[in-house]
A = this chain, B = another copy of it.
Amino acid sequence: MKLSWQRQTLHPKHKFATSQGVSEKRVTIVLRLEHDGIEGMGEIIPSELYGQTLDSAEETLNAAREFLGDDPFVIEPIVQRLIDRFDGQRATIDGIDAALHDWCGKKLEIPVWRLLGLSAPKKQTTFTIGIADTDEIREKVDEALAAGFDALKIKVGAPNDHETLTYIRSVFKGPLFLDANQAWKPEEAPRRIVELARFQPTVIEQPLDRADWQHMVDLRRFKVAPIIADESCERPADVNRLNGFVDGINIKLNKCGGICEARRMITLARGFGMTVMLGCFVSSSLAIAPALTIASLVDHADLDGALLLADDPFAGITRTGSTLQLSDRPGLGVWPVSL
């Protein structure tokens, strides 16, 4: 197997802010895995929160070569070897996992979701509105609704939350996901959560710092909405740790290391009766495709990472309202159009 890669710069349509900061562009890595005349592709989206950078990803790719072997079909053992060696660099493992799956699907001339025994990927996804001043939010919400989105995710944790949400609920009655991205201290969170009840959120994500996961159990008893761990939940072992403390988890392939690990997290979470979300970072459709591939296994999808872009270099995912559908082309079902 031969690996090669290039960095790609993606530009969100709008400046994108969460309680953790603002980003005007995102650089990801497009990975190509070539073997036997077939090319599998995957995207690597490093997360600084977990100590990953573009440089560390490229170092990991260089070091990973010797762990790949010569048969792209044996994905499970390959991923296990990579996790044993590069546990902290799961964003890179995710890219390799995606490229291996893409390769196998292309080799067998079937979509990866068929390879995995799953039904055709067609899933409602929330559309995310970043933190902004109230006028800008009004504009974004109106634009999203005009574009047909029928499930929204709002980043909360700003002083104007209440004003923003009051506006949104005046124009939108559908599913409303709230994501605090670790914004609150344990002592203020109960009050914040109770204040959010009137907006009837579908879920509330990561209200506390990722290290404060044990306090999330205190927020469950208000029964405002399921409390979902995102930043606190990276990999399968975290699901066991979080059991009892949260109502659900948000799985992201670049956090956990790809489809193999995500399926394990889904199985574990289901075993504990947890709500399961599948999320993403801002990325091209190349990274959305593997998540969409397994989205039929989860309760809620937040896979708008490529919808937020002005310049998605990959095609193959179509949208009707908030529902994303993956093509039935062999492999991951997406292809480069402007790389």
For residue A118, CB closer than 8 A to chain B, the reply is: yes
Q: Contacts A108-B108, A110-B108, A272-B240 known; A73 to B267 CB distance under 8 Å?
A: no
- Which residue of B119, B239, B260, B270 contacts A117 across the interface (Cβ within 8 Å)? B260
Q: What is the bound-complex CA distance between A267 and B77, given in angstroms?
A: 14
For residue A51, CB closer than 8 A to chain B, the reply is: no
- A: contact size bracket: 20 to 34
In the assembled complex, the CB of A16 is this many whole angstroms from the nearest CB of chain B, namely 34
In the assembled complex, the CB of A295 is this many whole angstroms from the nearest CB of chain B, namely 13
For chain A, what secondary structure do more than half of its interface residues adopt (helix, strand, loop), or is it mixed?
Answer: helix
- Between A239, A268, A297, the greatest number of chain B beta carbons within 10 A of the residue's beta carbon is seen for A268
Q: Are B272's CB and A74's CB within 8 A?
A: no
In the assembled complex, the CB of A119 is this many whole angstroms from the nearest CB of chain B, namely 5
For residue A210, CB closer than 8 A to chain B, the reply is: no
Measured between beta carbons, the chain B residues less than 8 angstroms from A77 are: 118-119, 296
Residue interface bits A243-261, CB-to-B below 8 A is 1, else 0: 0000000000000000010
For residue A236, CB closer than 8 A to chain B, the reply is: yes
Q: What is the bound-complex CA distance between A76 and B293, given in angstroms?
A: 13
A-B residue pairs in contact (CB < 8 Å), sample of 8:
A73-B110, A76-B118, A76-B297, A77-B119, A117-B260, A236-B271, A264-B267, A271-B271
